């Protein structure tokens, strides 16, 4: 199996490639809708500005192609901004539309002392567990680098609605979504490609789920 | 759940070899960057910094090759810098495999560089390196590896840097660098309290208790050191265990 990485110019794309290479998984890059047509597993890496990601998806016709492949049942993993893009909107670029696969919006971690939320923080599963975190101890540390997040409101959702896609959370200023899973749509706010052994395990789990 | 305090080994390179200096002068060879990077990655380092201390134009391709080779060894974040003067320089370093870049002198001379880098790569990728020295009663920003002073006050520069879009500050005490008598706690505390972004303390570390002090009393978010790790006197694993015993939140290596 080959993993297709959406190439919109994200700085962490080569790191994700290297991490998959270490697992012995071949990758290819797709920067157009055509590149996604035959994909069997897709990763949307992302780092930087939400607006840059959404604009790049729209300008290159990748939005519809990505949604179509998800519709077909292709396993999808969003990383960092790739998770945030799955919600309806983001405070970082309120004029733009997200992919709207999950309800709610992404907001600034305003309660935090310092932003970005930068470094290694612990991730806790919600009841029911997580497929991406299988085999990884609860409370394991992952590497985060972001200022915006899908903020979890007491037992609920970014917008206060019960959300079944939330599989694990992290806390920094506020409790936010660290891992989201719904069918073939999987996403993590942290950077598995930079999270040591625990991160490698998340990528390995994704590849296994995609196979 | 707590954000862990980070331990960051630093490789000062002359483009292809790791060197170590005392107060920025008197350089000695300390090994191969790729070997050291692999060792620190396995030992539980939270990130790695690679600096090109010579930062000469003609040696640039060699430094980029070093970044590529080091990045290949890591599954933790990599920061690279030294001599980054333009967006173009930064692009080359990011393309070679760095997750973040540090800027120092060029940002003091032209602060808008910080905004340009932040707009292109995101704040999380821009580390403002500040070399500070106490002159009279104030901490002054120094340039050219600590040799030239400026009229800029360190805390004011840190605040400005954060406003311009830097995502972190790498704060080096020129007075303490290479002395091994401990981090400059008052300097680190002053900048950490003022800055709205994380601060990495650097300069003067030798003993595990120095790290405990800079986290507890200096409010540092991360601590960086070079030679004490290179020569094997202090293992990262051992340091983190010490910090955990002192109730400093750290990510213990598995």
Q: How far is A161 from chain B (nearest CA, A)?
A: 24
pLDDT at residue number B23: 47
C-beta contacts of A21-27 below 8 A and 24+ residues apart: A22/A200, A22/B75, A23/A200, A23/A203, A23/A204, A23/A207, A25/A1, A25/A207, A26/A2, A27/A2, A27/A3
Q: How far is B254 from chain A (nearest CA, A)?
A: 8
Average pLDDT of B209-230?
A: 96
Q: Give the separation between CA B164 and CA B113, rounded to whole angstroms.
A: 9
- Closest residue of chain A to B43, computed from CA coordinates: A196
Percentage of chain B modeled with pLDDT above 70:
96
Residue B161 has pLDDT above 70, yes or no: yes
Residues of A identified as active-site: 80, 191, 193
Sign of CA dihedral A133, A134, A138, A141: negative
Residues of B identified as active-site: 12, 131
pLDDT tens, position by position, for chain A (211 residues)? 899 999 988 778 999 999 999 999 999 999 999 999 999 999 999 988 999 999 999 999 999 999 999 999 999 999 999 999 999 999 999 999 999 999 889 999 988 789 999 999 999 999 889 999 999 999 999 999 999 999 876 555 555 545 789 999 999 998 999 999 999 999 999 999 999 999 999 999 999 999 9
pLDDT at residue number B88: 96
- Among A36-50, B18-32, B40-54, whose mean pLDDT is lowest? B18-32
Q: Give the separation between CA A194 and CA B71, rounded to whole angstroms.
A: 11
3 state DSSP class of A144:
strand
- Closest residue of chain A to B96, computed from CA coordinates: A14
3 state DSSP class of B61:
helix
- Closest residue of chain B to A199, computed from CA coordinates: B75
Contact pairs from chain A to chain B, CB under 8 Å? 100
* CATH number, residue B206: 3.20.20.70
| Residue B251 within any structural domain of the chain | no
Q: Give the separation between CA A189 and CA A170, rounded to whole angstroms.
A: 9
Q: Which of A154, A153, A172 is nearest to A112 (CA)?
A: A172
CB A194 within 8 A of CB B99: yes
State phi, psi for A65 to the nearest 5 degrees.
Answer: -65, -40
Six-digit token pair at B43? 């030992």
CB B58 within 8 A of CB B64: no
Six-digit token pair at A118? 């930068």
Relative to beta strand B148-153, strand B138-143 is antiparallel
Q: Give the separation between CA B1 and CA A112, rounded to whole angstroms.
A: 13
Q: Give the separation between CA A10 and CA A137, rounded to whole angstroms.
A: 30
- pTM value? 0.95
Average pLDDT of B82-111?
A: 95
To probe the interface with A, which of B40, B92, B99 has the most A CB atoms within 10 Å? B99
Sign of CA dihedral B150, B151, B155, B161: negative
3 state DSSP class of B22:
strand
Report the 10 Å Cβ neighbour count for A131: 14
B213: containing domain: 6-245
Relative to beta strand B126-135, strand B6-13 is unpaired
A177 lies within 8 A of chain B by CB: no
Q: Which of B122, B37, B44 is nearest to B71 (CA)?
A: B37
Q: Give the separation between CA A206 and CA B149, rounded to whole angstroms.
A: 52
| Residue B1 within any structural domain of the chain | no
Q: Do A120 and B124 touch (CB under 8 A)?
A: no
Q: Do B196 and A121 touch (CB under 8 A)?
A: no
* Tally of domains within chain B: 1
pLDDT at residue number A161: 45
Q: Do A143 and B76 touch (CB under 8 A)?
A: yes
Half-sphere exposure of A134 (CA within 13 A, CB side): 10
Six-digit token pair at B194? 């003022």
Average pLDDT of B189-218?
A: 97
Angle CA A152–A156–A159, to nearest 5: 70
Average pLDDT of B57-84?
A: 94
CB B78 within 8 A of CB B47: yes
Six-digit token pair at B33? 């960057």
Q: How far is A104 from chain B (nearest CA, A)?
A: 24
Residue B145 has pLDDT above 80, yes or no: no
- DSSP assignment of A168-199, as one string? EEEEESEEEEEEEEETTEEEESS-GGGSHHHH
Give the residue carrying structure tokens 């945030």. Answer: A84
pLDDT at residue number A154: 56
pLDDT at residue number B233: 85
pLDDT at residue number B54: 81
CATH domain A3-210 topology: Rossmann fold (3.40.50)
To probe the interface with A, which of B97, B196, B251 has the most A CB atoms within 10 Å? B251
| Residue B253 within any structural domain of the chain | no
Residue B73 has pLDDT above 90, yes or no: yes
| Residue B184 within any structural domain of the chain | yes
Name the residue ranges covered by the structural domains of chain A: 3-210
B216 lies within 8 A of chain A by CB: no
**Which residues of A fall within a CB distance of 8 Å from B91?**
none
Average pLDDT of B7-29?
A: 78
Report the 10 Å Cβ neighbour count for A179: 27
Average pLDDT of B187-205?
A: 97
pLDDT at residue number A48: 87
To probe the interface with B, which of A53, A118, A140 has the most B CB atoms within 10 Å? A118
Mean pLDDT across chain B: 93
- Among A48-57, B26-35, B107-116, B188-197, whose mean pLDDT is lowest? B26-35
């Amino acid at each position: 199996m080959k993993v297709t990485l959406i190439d919109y110019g994200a700085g962490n794309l080569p790191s994700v490639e290297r991490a998959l290479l270490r697992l012995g998984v071949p990758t290819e890059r797709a920067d157009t809708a055509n590149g996604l047509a035959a994909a069997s597993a897709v990763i949307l890496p992302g780092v930087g500005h939400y607006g840059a990601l959404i604009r790049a998806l729209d300008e290159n016709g990748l939005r519809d192609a990505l949604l179509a492949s998800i519709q077909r049942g292709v396993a999808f993993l969003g990383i960092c901004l790739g998770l945030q893009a799955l919600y309806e909107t983001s405070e970082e670029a309120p004029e733009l539309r997200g992919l709207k696969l999950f309800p709610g919006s992404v907001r600034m971690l305003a309660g935090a002392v310092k932003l970005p939320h930068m470094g290694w923080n612990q991730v806790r599963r919600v009841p029911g567990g997580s497929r991406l975190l299988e085999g990884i101890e609860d409370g394991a540390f992952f590497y985060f680098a972001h200022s915006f997040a899908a903020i979890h409101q007491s037992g609920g959702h970014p917008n206060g609605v019960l959300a079944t896609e939330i599989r694990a959370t992290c806390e920094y200023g506020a409790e936010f979504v660290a891992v989201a899973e719904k069918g073939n749509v999987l996403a993590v706010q942290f950077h598995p490609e930079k999270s040591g052994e625990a991160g490698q395990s998340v990528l390995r789990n994704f590849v296994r789920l995609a196979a | 759940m707590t954000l862990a305090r980070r331990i960051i080994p630093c490789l000062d390179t002359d483009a292809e070899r790791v060197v170590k200096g005392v107060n920025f002068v008197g350089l000695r060879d300390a090994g191969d960057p790729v070997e050291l990077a692999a060792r620190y990655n396995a030992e539980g380092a939270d990130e790695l910094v690679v600096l090109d201390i010579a930062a000469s134009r003609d040696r640039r391709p060699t430094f980029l090759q070093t970044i590529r080779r080091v990045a290949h060894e890591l599954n933790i974040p990599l920061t690279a810098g030294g001599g980054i003067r333009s967006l173009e320089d930064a692009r080359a370093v990011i393309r070679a495999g760095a997750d973040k870049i540090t800027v120092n002198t060029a940002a003091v001379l032209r602060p808008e560089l910080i905004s340009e880098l932040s707009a292109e790569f995101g704040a999380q990728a821009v580390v403002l390196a500040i070399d500070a020295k106490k002159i009279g009663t104030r901490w002054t920003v120094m340039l050219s590896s600590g040799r030239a002073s400026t009229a800029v006050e360190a805390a004011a520069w840190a605040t400005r840097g954060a406003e311009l879009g830097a995502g972190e500050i790498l704060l080096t005490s020129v007075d303490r660098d290479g002395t091994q008598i401990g981090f400059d706690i008052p300097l680190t505390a002053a900048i950490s309290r003022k800055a709205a972004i994380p601060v990495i303390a650097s300069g003067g570390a030798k003993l595990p208790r120095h790290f405990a002090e800079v986290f507890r009393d200096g409010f540092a978010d991360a601590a960086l050191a070079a030679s004490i790790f290179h020569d094997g006197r202090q293992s990262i694993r051992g340091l983190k265990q010490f910090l955990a015993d002192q109730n400093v939140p750290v990510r213990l290596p598995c």
